[in-house]
Structure 1
Amino acid sequence: MAQTYLTTEELSARIKYDPRTIRDQLKDSVLLEGCHYFRPFGGRKILYIWEVIEDDMTKAISSTLNQIPMARGGVAHV
C-alpha cells in the first residue's frame, strides 16, 4: 500500500486548518509522532502520513454519530 506524505502546508490545505494551528495545537496532542507523522533522516522536517490522518478523522466522526451528549459530560448511546 502506497502512503502519501505531506508537509505541514500540504496537510493544511487538505484539512482546512492554518499551518500554525497544526504545528502549535494539533502536533503532539492529536497528531502523534510515529503514528501520524515522522521526521525523515532524523531531521527537523516533518512529513505527515495522509492515510492514517484521514482514517482517524473518519473514525472520530462515525463513533460520535450514534451518541447524545449529556449534561455532565457523558454520552447516551442510541
Structure 2
Amino acid sequence: MTTQNTYMTTEELSERIKYDPRTIRQRLKDSVLIEGRHYIRPFGGRKILYIWEVIEADMLKGQEESFSIPMANGAECHG
C-alpha cells in the first residue's frame, strides 16, 4: 500500500496555513521548509510544489518541542 501525497502550490499552502505567500517564499522556504523534504521542483523546473502531509506532521511535531530560541534569520535553536 502506497501513501499518496498532497502537492500544493505556494498559494494553496498559504490558504491552508494562513501565511502570506510572500512570507512562505521569503522567510519559510529554505529555512523552515526544506527542499527534498517539504517541497520539490518537479522535472527539475522552477515550479515548487509543497508536500502537505510532511509540512503538517512537522507543524504538529513542533507543538511537542518545549524549548526553542528564535534566531534573527527565522530559524530556531533547540536547546
TM-score range, shorter chain: 0.7 to 0.9
Deviation at 1:36, TM superposition (A): 0.2
What TM-score, normalized by structure 1, do the two folds share? 0.81
Aligned equivalent of 1:6: 8
Unaligned 5+ segments in structure 2 are 68-77
What TM-score, normalized by structure 2, do the two folds share? 0.80
Unaligned 5+ segments in structure 1 are 68-73
**Residue 60, structure 1, aligned to residue 65, structure 2:** no
Aligned equivalent of 2:53: 51
How many residues are aligned here? 68
Q: CA RMSD in A?
A: 1.8
Runs of 4+ in 1 over 2 A off after TM superposition: none
**Residue 22, structure 1, aligned to residue 24, structure 2:** yes
Q: Which of structures 1 and 2 has the bigger CA Rg?
A: 1
Percent identity reads 70
